[in-house]
Amino acid sequence: MSEFWYTPQTMRALKGETHRSFEMFSLTHLFWFAVLAVGLIWVFAVYRKYTPEKKKKAYIILTALLLIDEVAKYIMTVATNQWLWQFLPLHLCSIQIFVCLWHTVRPCTLNKEILYALCIPGAVLALVSPSWMPLPLANFMHLHSATVHVMLLIYPFMILADGFKPNIKNLWKVLAFLFAVGIPVYGINMLLKTNFLFLMRTDNNPILNLVASIFGKFYLVGLAVLLSLVCFLVYLPWVFVKKK
């Protein structure tokens, strides 16, 4: 099988757990930030001038691309006998794909708040510290992971470009949504021995390693504190905007 079809797990099994095809902030890594920059320029220079009908079409197209990208991952991993339970759409960014679908079908304040408070920091973290570093640019899973996270960042910025202003009073609803999702996901992790939402272990993520070192056996408490803090920080600028 060509390396183009390898998953990160397959690549590590063949070349070692520490294998990396690119480093953080290498040309390969920076390429995706350049793609993101082009996308955000399009959002604020072109998209925001669209008519409401054309904006609706843009949401539909982007949501369709996200779903196709995600389904293609399932087809590829099953077809190449690389399927693992951890490929289920229960990581935070995968869940956000369905929140995007929810917003495209029926936009409301809650799904806009969720996409702003959870999708933006989650996708940023994934792009800054990518889990697909074992894979070269010419690899299906590399292209899948990078494009999904770029699109997941562009989508909520489209909402902001439409004039949406996040309200910190709705933060509790976002956290309630995350808690409601986290309970069944924790049960699934116990059943399938997976690590969705990083509820079971840090997987050597440097930020989560710090949380684990501070909170020890109360890692889940530390994770809840971290998520609450991140959500609060992304709302903070809007508090000052509202005051002005």
Q: What pLDDT digit, counting tens, does each position of 134-150 carry?
A: 999 999 999 999 999 99
pLDDT of residue 202: 85
Task: Find out whether 194 and 188 touch, Cβ atoms under 8 Å.
Answer: yes
Length of the chain: 244
Amino acid, single-letter form, for residue 132: W
Per-residue b/e over 83-98, b at no fewer than 16 CB within 10 Å? beeebebbbbbbbbbe
pLDDT of residue 124: 93
Does 40 or 17 have the greater pLDDT score?
Answer: 40
Helices 120-128 and 219-243 cross at an angle (nearest 10°) of: 120
Instruction: Give which of 118, 151, 120 is closest to 32, Cα–Cα.
Output: 151
pTM: 0.92
**Mean pLDDT score, 12-41:** 95
- Answer yes or no: is pLDDT of 242 > 70: no
Task: Find out whether 234 and 117 touch, Cβ atoms under 8 Å.
Answer: yes
